[in-house]
Amino acid sequence: MRVAVRRSLREGPYLFVVPALLLFFSFFLYPAIIGFFYGLTGLDLRKGTSLDFIGLKNYVEALRDPLMQAAFRNSLYVAVVSSPILVFGGLTSALLVAKKGLRGKAAYATIIILPVAMPTIATSMIWEFIYDSQWGAINTILERSSLGFLTTAWLHNPTTALTAIIVTYCWTFIGFHMAIYFSIIQSIPKSIPEAAAVDGLSEFQIVTRIIMPLLKPGFGLSIVNTVAGAFTYFDFVFLMTGVSGGGGFTWTDTMILWIYRNGIAFLKIGYSSAGAAYTTLVVFALNFVILRRLKIW
Protein backbone atom coordinates (compact mmCIF):
# COMPACT_ATOMS: atom_id res chain seq x y z
CA MET A 1 0.00 0.00 0.00
CA ARG A 2 2.66 2.45 1.12
CA VAL A 3 4.83 1.54 -1.80
CA ALA A 4 1.95 2.13 -4.18
CA VAL A 5 1.22 5.55 -2.67
CA ARG A 6 4.87 6.52 -2.87
CA ARG A 7 5.10 5.40 -6.45
CA SER A 8 2.04 7.36 -7.47
CA LEU A 9 3.38 10.41 -5.66
CA ARG A 10 6.61 10.13 -7.55
CA GLU A 11 5.06 9.53 -10.94
CA GLY A 12 1.85 11.49 -10.51
CA PRO A 13 3.23 14.93 -11.34
CA TYR A 14 4.67 13.74 -14.65
CA LEU A 15 1.29 12.40 -15.65
CA PHE A 16 -0.14 15.90 -15.51
CA VAL A 17 2.36 17.36 -17.97
CA VAL A 18 1.92 14.56 -20.49
CA PRO A 19 -0.74 16.33 -22.60
CA ALA A 20 1.35 19.49 -22.83
CA LEU A 21 4.51 17.52 -23.59
CA LEU A 22 2.68 15.51 -26.23
CA LEU A 23 1.59 18.69 -27.97
CA PHE A 24 5.03 20.21 -27.66
CA PHE A 25 6.79 17.18 -29.08
CA SER A 26 4.43 16.50 -31.94
CA PHE A 27 3.91 20.06 -33.15
CA PHE A 28 7.10 21.88 -32.15
CA LEU A 29 10.06 19.67 -31.39
CA TYR A 30 9.36 16.92 -33.91
CA PRO A 31 8.86 19.31 -36.89
CA ALA A 32 11.97 21.24 -35.90
CA ILE A 33 14.07 18.08 -35.83
CA ILE A 34 12.55 16.57 -38.95
CA GLY A 35 13.01 19.93 -40.67
CA PHE A 36 16.68 19.83 -39.86
CA PHE A 37 16.91 16.39 -41.51
CA TYR A 38 14.93 17.49 -44.55
CA GLY A 39 17.53 20.20 -44.86
CA LEU A 40 20.11 17.46 -45.35
CA THR A 41 18.17 16.02 -48.29
CA GLY A 42 17.47 17.23 -51.79
CA LEU A 43 13.71 16.88 -51.29
CA ASP A 44 12.05 18.83 -54.11
CA LEU A 45 8.37 18.18 -54.68
CA ARG A 46 8.60 19.33 -58.27
CA LYS A 47 10.84 16.35 -58.97
CA GLY A 48 9.25 13.83 -56.64
CA THR A 49 9.31 12.69 -53.04
CA SER A 50 12.74 11.06 -52.90
CA LEU A 51 14.75 11.83 -49.77
CA ASP A 52 18.24 11.64 -51.21
CA PHE A 53 20.88 12.59 -48.66
CA ILE A 54 23.07 15.43 -49.90
CA GLY A 55 24.89 16.42 -46.72
CA LEU A 56 25.26 20.09 -45.89
CA LYS A 57 24.82 21.28 -49.47
CA ASN A 58 21.53 23.06 -48.77
CA TYR A 59 22.94 24.71 -45.67
CA VAL A 60 25.98 26.00 -47.50
CA GLU A 61 24.00 27.16 -50.50
CA ALA A 62 21.42 28.96 -48.40
CA LEU A 63 24.15 30.96 -46.70
CA ARG A 64 25.42 32.09 -50.12
CA ASP A 65 21.92 32.87 -51.42
CA PRO A 66 21.61 36.70 -51.71
CA LEU A 67 17.85 36.39 -51.23
CA MET A 68 18.34 34.66 -47.92
CA GLN A 69 20.96 37.17 -46.87
CA ALA A 70 18.48 39.94 -47.64
CA ALA A 71 15.72 38.14 -45.76
CA PHE A 72 17.99 37.67 -42.78
CA ARG A 73 18.99 41.36 -42.82
CA ASN A 74 15.35 42.37 -43.09
CA SER A 75 14.37 40.17 -40.15
CA LEU A 76 17.15 41.59 -38.06
CA TYR A 77 16.02 45.11 -38.99
CA VAL A 78 12.43 44.30 -37.97
CA ALA A 79 13.67 42.92 -34.66
CA VAL A 80 15.90 45.89 -33.91
CA VAL A 81 13.24 48.47 -34.79
CA SER A 82 10.08 46.81 -33.52
CA SER A 83 11.32 45.36 -30.23
CA PRO A 84 12.05 48.69 -28.51
CA ILE A 85 8.83 50.23 -29.84
CA LEU A 86 6.68 47.32 -28.71
CA VAL A 87 8.38 46.87 -25.34
CA PHE A 88 8.54 50.57 -24.50
CA GLY A 89 5.14 51.36 -26.02
CA GLY A 90 3.49 48.43 -24.29
CA LEU A 91 5.11 49.29 -20.98
CA THR A 92 4.22 53.00 -21.01
CA SER A 93 0.68 52.22 -22.13
CA ALA A 94 0.29 49.72 -19.31
CA LEU A 95 1.65 52.20 -16.76
CA LEU A 96 -0.76 54.87 -17.99
CA VAL A 97 -3.73 52.55 -17.96
CA ALA A 98 -2.84 51.25 -14.50
CA LYS A 99 -2.47 54.73 -13.07
CA LYS A 100 -5.07 55.61 -10.49
CA GLY A 101 -7.67 58.18 -11.42
CA LEU A 102 -6.36 59.05 -14.88
CA ARG A 103 -9.13 60.31 -17.13
CA GLY A 104 -9.85 58.69 -20.47
CA LYS A 105 -7.71 55.68 -19.74
CA ALA A 106 -10.49 53.21 -20.48
CA ALA A 107 -10.91 54.72 -23.95
CA TYR A 108 -7.15 54.67 -24.44
CA ALA A 109 -6.89 51.04 -23.40
CA THR A 110 -9.70 50.08 -25.76
CA ILE A 111 -8.10 51.86 -28.69
CA ILE A 112 -4.74 50.27 -28.01
CA ILE A 113 -6.10 46.75 -27.56
CA LEU A 114 -8.58 46.82 -30.45
CA PRO A 115 -6.11 46.12 -33.32
CA VAL A 116 -5.01 42.90 -31.61
CA ALA A 117 -8.52 41.59 -32.06
CA MET A 118 -8.83 42.74 -35.68
CA PRO A 119 -8.39 40.21 -38.51
CA THR A 120 -4.96 40.81 -40.01
CA ILE A 121 -6.39 40.92 -43.52
CA ALA A 122 -8.56 43.89 -42.50
CA THR A 123 -5.67 45.62 -40.76
CA SER A 124 -3.38 45.27 -43.72
CA MET A 125 -6.04 46.53 -46.13
CA ILE A 126 -6.64 49.59 -43.98
CA TRP A 127 -2.92 50.32 -43.89
CA GLU A 128 -2.53 49.73 -47.60
CA PHE A 129 -5.12 52.48 -48.07
CA ILE A 130 -3.24 54.73 -45.68
CA TYR A 131 0.04 54.11 -47.51
CA ASP A 132 -1.44 54.36 -51.02
CA SER A 133 0.73 56.58 -53.23
CA GLN A 134 -2.12 58.43 -54.97
CA TRP A 135 -4.97 58.86 -52.53
CA GLY A 136 -3.56 57.44 -49.31
CA ALA A 137 -3.99 59.39 -46.08
CA ILE A 138 -0.28 59.98 -45.50
CA ASN A 139 0.47 61.41 -48.91
CA THR A 140 -2.71 63.50 -48.88
CA ILE A 141 -1.78 65.05 -45.54
CA LEU A 142 1.78 65.70 -46.71
CA GLU A 143 0.59 67.41 -49.86
CA ARG A 144 -2.00 69.56 -48.06
CA SER A 145 0.64 70.73 -45.59
CA SER A 146 2.99 71.66 -48.45
CA LEU A 147 5.33 68.77 -47.66
CA GLY A 148 4.57 67.23 -51.03
CA PHE A 149 8.23 66.55 -51.68
CA LEU A 150 8.10 63.87 -48.98
CA THR A 151 5.37 61.83 -50.66
CA THR A 152 6.32 58.43 -51.95
CA ALA A 153 4.88 55.03 -52.76
CA TRP A 154 5.46 53.89 -49.20
CA LEU A 155 5.03 50.19 -49.76
CA HIS A 156 6.84 50.15 -53.10
CA ASN A 157 9.95 52.11 -52.24
CA PRO A 158 12.92 50.02 -51.13
CA THR A 159 13.87 52.46 -48.37
CA THR A 160 10.40 52.80 -46.83
CA ALA A 161 8.58 49.54 -47.58
CA LEU A 162 9.82 47.46 -44.67
CA THR A 163 9.59 50.33 -42.20
CA ALA A 164 6.00 50.94 -43.29
CA ILE A 165 5.18 47.32 -42.56
CA ILE A 166 6.91 47.59 -39.17
CA VAL A 167 4.70 50.58 -38.32
CA THR A 168 1.60 48.53 -39.04
CA TYR A 169 3.03 45.60 -37.09
CA CYS A 170 3.78 47.74 -34.04
CA TRP A 171 0.43 49.56 -34.24
CA THR A 172 -1.27 46.19 -34.12
CA PHE A 173 0.70 44.52 -31.36
CA ILE A 174 1.37 47.28 -28.83
CA GLY A 175 -1.96 46.28 -27.25
CA PHE A 176 -0.75 42.74 -26.76
CA HIS A 177 2.40 43.92 -25.02
CA MET A 178 0.40 46.38 -22.95
CA ALA A 179 -1.75 43.45 -21.82
CA ILE A 180 1.35 41.52 -20.71
CA TYR A 181 2.64 44.39 -18.57
CA PHE A 182 -0.77 45.47 -17.37
CA SER A 183 -1.63 42.02 -16.06
CA ILE A 184 1.59 41.94 -14.03
CA ILE A 185 1.11 45.48 -12.71
CA GLN A 186 -2.39 44.51 -11.62
CA SER A 187 -1.01 41.56 -9.71
CA ILE A 188 1.36 43.73 -7.65
CA PRO A 189 -0.31 44.44 -4.29
CA LYS A 190 -1.34 48.11 -4.07
CA SER A 191 0.46 48.40 -0.77
CA ILE A 192 3.89 47.97 -2.38
CA PRO A 193 3.94 51.19 -4.42
CA GLU A 194 2.21 52.86 -1.49
CA ALA A 195 4.93 51.73 0.87
CA ALA A 196 7.44 53.15 -1.57
CA ALA A 197 5.61 56.49 -1.64
CA VAL A 198 5.64 56.65 2.16
CA ASP A 199 9.32 55.67 2.03
CA GLY A 200 9.95 58.89 0.13
CA LEU A 201 10.18 57.70 -3.47
CA SER A 202 8.90 59.96 -6.23
CA GLU A 203 6.45 58.59 -8.75
CA PHE A 204 9.26 58.17 -11.26
CA GLN A 205 11.41 56.35 -8.71
CA ILE A 206 8.51 54.06 -7.85
CA VAL A 207 8.27 53.08 -11.51
CA THR A 208 12.00 52.59 -12.05
CA ARG A 209 12.93 51.03 -8.71
CA ILE A 210 9.83 49.09 -7.75
CA ILE A 211 7.48 48.46 -10.67
CA MET A 212 10.01 47.83 -13.45
CA PRO A 213 12.03 45.20 -11.58
CA LEU A 214 8.80 43.41 -10.75
CA LEU A 215 7.90 43.42 -14.44
CA LYS A 216 10.97 41.36 -15.32
CA PRO A 217 9.07 38.21 -16.29
CA GLY A 218 6.94 40.42 -18.54
CA PHE A 219 10.04 41.84 -20.24
CA GLY A 220 11.19 38.29 -20.89
CA LEU A 221 7.93 37.27 -22.51
CA SER A 222 7.61 40.51 -24.41
CA ILE A 223 11.14 40.53 -25.82
CA VAL A 224 11.13 36.87 -26.80
CA ASN A 225 7.86 37.52 -28.55
CA THR A 226 9.14 40.51 -30.53
CA VAL A 227 12.43 38.91 -31.54
CA ALA A 228 10.82 35.65 -32.56
CA GLY A 229 8.07 37.62 -34.28
CA ALA A 230 10.55 39.54 -36.41
CA PHE A 231 11.76 36.27 -37.93
CA THR A 232 8.54 34.33 -37.99
CA TYR A 233 5.64 36.77 -38.27
CA PHE A 234 4.07 36.16 -41.64
CA ASP A 235 0.76 37.96 -42.16
CA PHE A 236 1.52 41.63 -42.80
CA VAL A 237 4.64 41.07 -44.84
CA PHE A 238 2.86 38.60 -47.05
CA LEU A 239 -0.39 40.57 -47.36
CA MET A 240 1.03 44.06 -47.88
CA THR A 241 3.97 43.42 -50.20
CA GLY A 242 4.66 39.72 -50.18
CA VAL A 243 1.98 38.57 -52.63
CA SER A 244 3.48 40.72 -55.33
CA GLY A 245 6.94 39.84 -54.20
CA GLY A 246 7.96 43.37 -53.30
CA GLY A 247 11.03 44.42 -55.25
CA GLY A 248 12.39 41.09 -56.25
CA PHE A 249 11.82 39.74 -52.75
CA THR A 250 14.69 41.67 -51.23
CA TRP A 251 12.97 44.77 -49.88
CA THR A 252 10.57 43.29 -47.40
CA ASP A 253 10.96 39.54 -47.30
CA THR A 254 11.78 38.30 -43.82
CA MET A 255 13.05 34.81 -43.04
CA ILE A 256 9.59 33.33 -42.83
CA LEU A 257 8.77 34.70 -46.29
CA TRP A 258 11.95 33.23 -47.72
CA ILE A 259 11.09 29.85 -46.18
CA TYR A 260 7.56 30.11 -47.50
CA ARG A 261 8.62 31.00 -51.02
CA ASN A 262 11.21 28.27 -51.33
CA GLY A 263 9.17 25.61 -49.61
CA ILE A 264 5.55 26.28 -50.49
CA ALA A 265 5.78 28.31 -53.68
CA PHE A 266 8.81 26.66 -55.27
CA LEU A 267 8.32 23.31 -53.50
CA LYS A 268 12.04 23.09 -52.66
CA ILE A 269 11.35 21.51 -49.27
CA GLY A 270 14.93 20.49 -48.57
CA TYR A 271 16.35 23.89 -49.35
CA SER A 272 13.72 25.83 -47.40
CA SER A 273 14.12 23.47 -44.45
CA ALA A 274 17.74 24.48 -44.23
CA GLY A 275 16.64 28.12 -43.92
CA ALA A 276 14.05 27.14 -41.32
CA ALA A 277 16.71 25.37 -39.28
CA TYR A 278 18.90 28.49 -39.41
CA THR A 279 15.95 30.63 -38.30
CA THR A 280 15.23 28.37 -35.35
CA LEU A 281 18.85 28.48 -34.27
CA VAL A 282 19.18 32.25 -34.67
CA VAL A 283 15.94 33.03 -32.80
CA PHE A 284 16.93 30.67 -30.04
CA ALA A 285 20.43 32.13 -29.78
CA LEU A 286 19.23 35.75 -29.87
CA ASN A 287 16.68 35.15 -27.15
CA PHE A 288 19.17 33.26 -25.08
CA VAL A 289 21.66 36.11 -25.24
CA ILE A 290 19.03 38.77 -24.52
CA LEU A 291 17.49 36.93 -21.60
CA ARG A 292 20.92 36.23 -20.18
CA ARG A 293 21.85 39.87 -20.54
CA LEU A 294 18.70 40.96 -18.73
CA LYS A 295 19.38 38.32 -16.07
CA ILE A 296 15.94 36.90 -16.58
CA TRP A 297 17.53 33.48 -16.93
Partner 1 sequence: MVDVVLREVSKSFQEVKAVDGLSVKIDDGEFFTLLGPSGCGKTTVLRLVAGLETVTKGEIYLGEVRVNDVPAKDRDVAMVFQDYALYPHMSIFENLSLCLKVRKVPKQEIRQKVDEVAELLRIGDLLSRKPSQLSGGQQQRAAVGRAIIRKPKVFLMDEPLSNLDAILRVSMRAELIALQKRLGTTLICVTHDQVEAMTMSDRILVMNRGQVQQLGTPREIFSHPANKFVETFIGTPPMNFVECDLLEKEAILDAGEFRLEVPGYLRSIMTDRKLEKLVVGFRPDKIIVYTRDPPEHAIQARVFVREELGNQAILSMRIGEYIIKSLVAEDVLAKPDDTVWFLPRENSLHIFDKKTETSIAGCE
200 is a contact residue toward partner 1 (CB under 8 A): yes
Reduce the DSSP state of residue 53 to 3 states and report it.
Answer: strand
Of these, 216, 284, 289, 297, which contacts partner 1 (CB under 8 A)?
216
Indicate the residue among 122 and 192 with the shorter CB distance to partner 1. 192
Judged by CB under 8 A, the number of residues near partner 1 is 18
Closest CA to 95 of 236, 230, 173, 211: 211
Q: Are 211 and 95 in contact (CB under 8 A)?
A: yes
Least spacing, CB of residue 96 vs partner 1, in Å: 20
110 is a contact residue toward partner 1 (CB under 8 A): no
Of these, 34, 141, 192, 265, which contacts partner 1 (CB under 8 A)?
192
Q: Are 272 and 262 in contact (CB under 8 A)?
A: yes
Of these, 195, 265, 281, 294, which contacts partner 1 (CB under 8 A)?
195
191 is a contact residue toward partner 1 (CB under 8 A): yes
205 is a contact residue toward partner 1 (CB under 8 A): yes
Helix spans in the chain (H): 2-24, 30-38, 57-64, 66-98, 105-117, 120-131, 137-144, 161-187, 191-198, 203-205, 212-214, 216-232, 235-237, 255-260, 269-293
186 is a contact residue toward partner 1 (CB under 8 A): no
Burial readout 65-94 (b: 16 or more C-beta within 10 A, e: otherwise): bebbebbbebbbebbebbbebbbebbbebb
Least spacing, CB of residue 191 vs partner 1, in Å: 4
Least spacing, CB of residue 221 vs partner 1, in Å: 17
What's the rounded Cα separation, in Å, for the pair 248 and 242?
A: 10
201 is a contact residue toward partner 1 (CB under 8 A): yes
213 is a contact residue toward partner 1 (CB under 8 A): yes
197 is a contact residue toward partner 1 (CB under 8 A): yes
296 is a contact residue toward partner 1 (CB under 8 A): no
What are φ and ψ of residue 288, in 5° steps? -60, -50
Catalog residues that contact partner 1 under the rule CB under 8 A. 189, 191-192, 194-202, 205, 209-210, 213-214, 216
